[in-house]
Chains A and B, each alone.
Chain A
């Protein structure tokens, strides 16, 4: 079965600083990978997804993520964080042949200091 690890439970960065959120997955084949953001009181919004092809994926709100098969990682990055980026970020993996089911990581809570 697939699994996702987000090693950082909480991260605090200053506004304007760069950001990297870590995500490691476990899956036997090429996974489908997603990053979602959940703002307080809001549902989940998809930031970006990786299915195949270019391993550097661009998403919304200036986010990008890089798929590294050798490291089983799919880290999320942003060059300059805005205060409105404060939210919880979830990495998720989807299994081929698994009925489109998603397995989520435990999430990383991002705090942005002004």
Chain B
């Protein structure tokens, strides 16, 4: 299994500012992912964070809005840039321990409110 921590756990931000969310894993992992869960909605994959290369973004998400870093095999950050109230969501990171399919372990999430 994997233990994942996220910082901050929650934040309230002003429109137009940026917030960087950190995800730390207690072991080295190949696959790290970032999801968004809008209020009352399901989880939507934002991007796959690749170690040593640029993140791979899903349709509807762009690097300028959600820049991602993955400096090593245990850590990643997601920045929500130039925020608007529509960015109010829970942001979750997850990891997959195996290069082939296995379960994903999720962090506790970061609850973001944009005023």
* CB of B67 within 8 Å of the partner chain: no
Interface flags for A99-110 (1: CB within 8 Å of B; 0: not) read 111111111000
Interface flags for B77-96 (1: CB within 8 Å of A; 0: not) read 00000000000000010101
Q: Judging by beta carbons under 8 Å apart, are A104 and B56 in contact?
A: no
Q: Judging by beta carbons under 8 Å apart, are B109 and A102 in contact?
A: no
Q: Judging by beta carbons under 8 Å apart, are A105 and B103 in contact?
A: no
* CB of B48 within 8 Å of the partner chain: yes
* CB of A14 within 8 Å of the partner chain: no
Q: How many pairs, one residue from A and one from B, have CB atoms within 8 Å of each other in the complex?
A: 49
| One of A15-23, A38-46, A63-71, A79-87 at the interface | A38-46
Interface flags for B31-47 (1: CB within 8 Å of A; 0: not) read 10100000001111100
Residue numbers in B under 8 Å from A103 (CB-CB) = 45
Given the known inter-chain contacts A34-B103, A46-B103, please indicate yes or no for A100 contacting B42, CB distance below 8 A: no
**CA A90 to CA B37, docked complex, whole Å:** 12
Residue numbers in B under 8 Å from A96 (CB-CB) = 101
The residues of B with any CB-CB pair to A shorter than 8 Å are 4, 31, 33, 41-45, 48, 56, 58, 92, 94, 96, 100-101, 103-109
